[in-house]
A and B are shown apart, each in its own frame.
Chain A
Amino acid sequence: MADIERILLVEDDHKDVELVLSALEENHLANEVLVVRDGEEALDYLYRRSHFRLRRPGNPAVVLLDLKLPKVHGLDVLRQIKSDPHLRSVPVVVLTSSTEEPDLAQSYQFGVNAYVVKPVEFGQFVTALKQIGLFWAVINEPPPGSLRRGAYPGEPETNGEPG
C-alpha cells in the first residue's frame, strides 16, 4: 500500500525538519509526512496549484505549521486555511518556538486546533511530537475529505467529500 501523505509539515529550518521526522519515526509516521519549506508552498499544496496541481486530491489529516516562515507568514497561512470553506475543517497544529502572547492569541482567533511550543530539551520534543502525531494522525477521526490511511488500490482514497 502506498504511503499517503497525511501529515503536512510546514517548516523552513531543515534541522527542525530532521528532528521532527526522527521524532515521528518513533511512531512510524515519518513516511506519511510531506514537507514544504515556506508558506507559499503550503498554500500551493493545499489548493493543489503550481507544482502540486497534479497531486492526488484530498486534505491532510493534520497540518503541522511553524509560524516563522519565509514568503508567507505562518499566521497568514492559518488565516487562509481557516477562512476557506473547503479547507477550514483541516486540523492545524501550530508548532513554534514562539511564546509570544500575540501569536498565541491570533492563532486561536483564526481557529487553530492546537498551539504547541517546541521544547528545547530534545527528549521532551520527541515526546510531544509523538503524542501529536499519534493523536491527530491515528487516534483522531479526520474530517471528511481527508486522505485515508493505507487504502488499497481500488478503494476510495479519501473518506468522503470535503465539506
Chain B
Amino acid sequence: MHDLTHFSLADMLEVGSHVRACCNGAESLQAVAQRIVSYLYRDLRDAHGARATAMVRFFLTRPFGALPLPYQEFIRSTHGDESAADDTICLSLMATSGVEPDWNSPSTSRTDLAVPLRDANMIATAPMINALIAQFGVDAASVSRRDQQLLDSRDTFSVFHIAEARGSPYLPSQAEFVQEYDVRSVLGFGGLLPSQDLFAVIVFATVPIERETAELFPPLTLSTKLALAPFAYGPFFSGDSPRTEGPSDAERAWRMATLEQLIDLHESTAIEQSRHLEERVTSEREAREALHRVNERNVEYLRRIRDLNASLAHQVEQLEAVNQELEAFSYSVSHDLRAPLRHLSGFADLLMRQTVDETDTDAKRYVQFIKEASEHAGKLVDDLLSFARMGRTEMRRSRVDMNSLVRLVISELQADIGDRVVTWRIAKLPLIIADPAMIALVVKNLLSNALKYTATREEAIIEIEATRDERETHFSVRDNGIGFDMQYVDKLFKVFQRLHRSEDFAGSGIGLAHVQRIVRRHGGRAWAEGKVGEGATFHFSVPNEAAEVTDGRH
C-alpha cells in the first residue's frame, strides 16, 4: 500500500518494481495492462489507508482491423461504417479497475470501448488523450497517421496531471462521474510502443495529487513500458493468437533503450530528490539557528527586564522608607509643637488680662495678634498631625450614601454659614465604596472652600453633581465665588500653597493637599478648574471597585 497523498521517491521505486513484474506469466499485452490497473487501483491509498482512486484505465491505439470483434461491432454501432476501415486508428480500452463492479472489465464498461481516431477532430473528442499526445510534442494528426518519425523519438513518454478535477475542461462528465464519485484529481501517464501505438494509463484519484507527486511519475511510465515490452509486437488482446517468432533485434534494442532511459531517469530523479532534501535540511538548520538567536536575544531581554525590575523594586523600597521617615518626622514634630503653642496662647491670654485696664491700645492689639497667631499655628499643627496620621491608619471600606454625607457636612458647616444666603444645588449622588470618615473630610474641605470663596457674593450658589462610568464615580463641587487663575492650578493641591492673600481668606492651606491624598489612597484623582471672577469647580473621582492604592504597609 502506498499513500498517494505523501508519495515519495521510495514509494515510486517500489510501485515501479511491482509494475515491471506485471508481465511475469502474462500472455498478452491486455493481460499485463489489466494487472497493472488492478494493482494500481488496489495499491494507491490515502493517509488513512482508504482507497485513493475511483478508477484506473488503460488505453491503447490499434488499427481497426486488429481489434477483437466486440470492439469492431461497438465502433460500427456508435460511429458508423465510415470508421470501420481496417487502418483507422482506434483508441481502445484495454483494461480497467474501479469502484463500480462494471468498471472492472472492458466488456462491462458502459463508456466507450473504442474511439476511432480518424482525424485530429475526433481525437479532440477525447480531451485527455488529446492533451497527453500534445505533451509528447507531437500533434494529434501524426498519431492518427502513424508517422514513421515517431518511432525514433526518444522522449516517447509523458505524464499528464489535472490538479483539480472539479470543473476541469478535460473531464466532460462532471456531474455523473466527477461529482458522483468524488474525483479530485487525475494523473495520466503513457508512451509510444515501437509499433507506434500509443498507450495511456489514466488514474482517477479521490484525493488531491500534488505537483511534486506527478513529477515522480515519469519513471513509472518507463516501468510500465518495460512491463509491456514483451508484448510490444503482440499478442495485444487476450484473444489474439500468440507470437510465433521470438523477439527481433529491433525489439531487443528497443527494450535496452527503454531500460537505459529508466536507469537515467532514476538517477536524475534520485539526484533531484537528494538535492531537495539537502535544501530542506539546510533551510531547517538556518531556521533553527535563527530561532536560537532570537531565543538568546529574548533571554538577554528577560535578564535585563528582571534587573530593571529589581532595581525598581529597590527604589520603591527606598521611597517607602523615606516616606515612612517623613511621616514619622512630621508626626513627631507636630506633636512636639503643641506644648510651645499652648504656652504662647496661654501667656498671651494672661498678658491680655493684665493689660485689660490699661489704655495702651497698641499693646493690647499686639497681644491680641500674638494670641490669634498662636491659635492659628495650633490649627495648622492639628491639620498637619491629622495629615500625617492619615497615612498610618487603616482605610475602612463601606458603602457611603453621598447624599446623606453631604447633608451631614452641610449641617456641620452651619456655624460658618451663619445667616449668609447660600443656595445648595445637590444632584442625586450615587453610592460609592469608600472610607466614610476620609470622604467626609474631603467633602468638608471642598464645601468649606466653596463657602469661603463665595463669601463676597450676595448669594452663594454651590452645586454638587456626580457622574458614573464603568470604572469610576466622579463628583464635582462648583461655586460662584471669586475663582482662581488656571495658570496656578497645579499649586492648588500642594501643601501650604495659597492663591489668595491670607488676610482676604483665612485658611490653613493644607486642606486640598489632604483631599488629594485621601482621594489618591482610594485610587482616584482630584483636580480643579476655575476662572478669575467666575467661580471654581473642584472634582474628585473614586473607582467603583474598592481599590486601595497601597503604599506597602497595609
A interface residues (Cβ-Cβ under 8 A, vs B): 13, 15-16, 18-19, 22, 97-99, 118-123, 125-126
Q: Is the CB of B349 within 8 A of A16?
A: no
Report the separation of the CA atoms of residues A128 and B335 in the bound assembly, to the nearest whole angstrom.
20
Q: Is B464 at the interface (CB under 8 A from chain A)?
A: no
| Contacts A19-B347, A22-B350; A120 near B342 (Cβ below 8 A) | yes
Complex contacts, A15 vs chain B, CB 8 Å: 343, 346-347
Report the separation of the CA atoms of residues A125 and B339 in the bound assembly, to the nearest whole angstrom.
12
Q: Is the CB of B346 within 8 A of A122?
A: yes
For B350, the closest partner residue in chain A by CB is A22
Q: Is the CB of A19 within 8 A of B343?
A: yes
Q: Chain B: interface secondary structure?
A: helix
Complex contacts, B498 vs chain A, CB 8 Å: none
Among A18, A97, A123, contact of B339 (Cβ-Cβ < 8 Å):
A97
Complex contacts, A121 vs chain B, CB 8 Å: 342, 345, 375, 378
Nearest-neighbour CB distance to chain A for B23, whole angstroms, equals 109
Q: Is the CB of A123 within 8 A of B349?
A: yes
Report the separation of the CA atoms of residues A126 and B346 in the bound assembly, to the nearest whole angstrom.
9
Q: Is the CB of B335 within 8 A of A120?
A: no
Q: Is B186 at the interface (CB under 8 A from chain A)?
A: no
**What is the total number of residues of chain B having a CB less than 8 Å from a CB of chain A?**
19
Report the separation of the CA atoms of residues A119 and B338 in the bound assembly, to the nearest whole angstrom.
8
| Contacts A120-B378, A120-B381, A121-B378; A97 near B342 (Cβ below 8 A) | yes
Complex contacts, B342 vs chain A, CB 8 Å: 16, 19, 97, 118-122, 125
* Top 5 closest pairs, chain A to chain B, by CB: A120-B378, A122-B346, A122-B345, A122-B349, A19-B346
Nearest-neighbour CB distance to chain A for B368, whole angstroms, equals 13
Nearest-neighbour CB distance to chain B for A124, whole angstroms, equals 9
Q: Is the CB of A120 within 8 A of B341?
A: yes
Q: Which of A13, A99, A118, A120 has the largest number of chain B CB atoms within 10 A?
A: A120
Nearest-neighbour CB distance to chain A for B390, whole angstroms, equals 14
Complex contacts, B29 vs chain A, CB 8 Å: none
Report the separation of the CA atoms of residues A122 and B372 in the bound assembly, to the nearest whole angstrom.
11
Report the separation of the CA atoms of residues A122 and B3 in the bound assembly, to the nearest whole angstrom.
105
Q: Is the CB of B335 within 8 A of A99?
A: yes
Nearest-neighbour CB distance to chain A for B377, whole angstroms, equals 8
Q: Is B510 at the interface (CB under 8 A from chain A)?
A: no
Report the separation of the CA atoms of residues A126 and B375 in the bound assembly, to the nearest whole angstrom.
15
Nearest-neighbour CB distance to chain B for A127, whole angstroms, equals 12
Q: Is B477 at the interface (CB under 8 A from chain A)?
A: no
Q: Is the CB of B338 within 8 A of A120?
A: yes
Nearest-neighbour CB distance to chain A for B14, whole angstroms, equals 92
For B377, the closest partner residue in chain A by CB is A120
Complex contacts, A13 vs chain B, CB 8 Å: 339
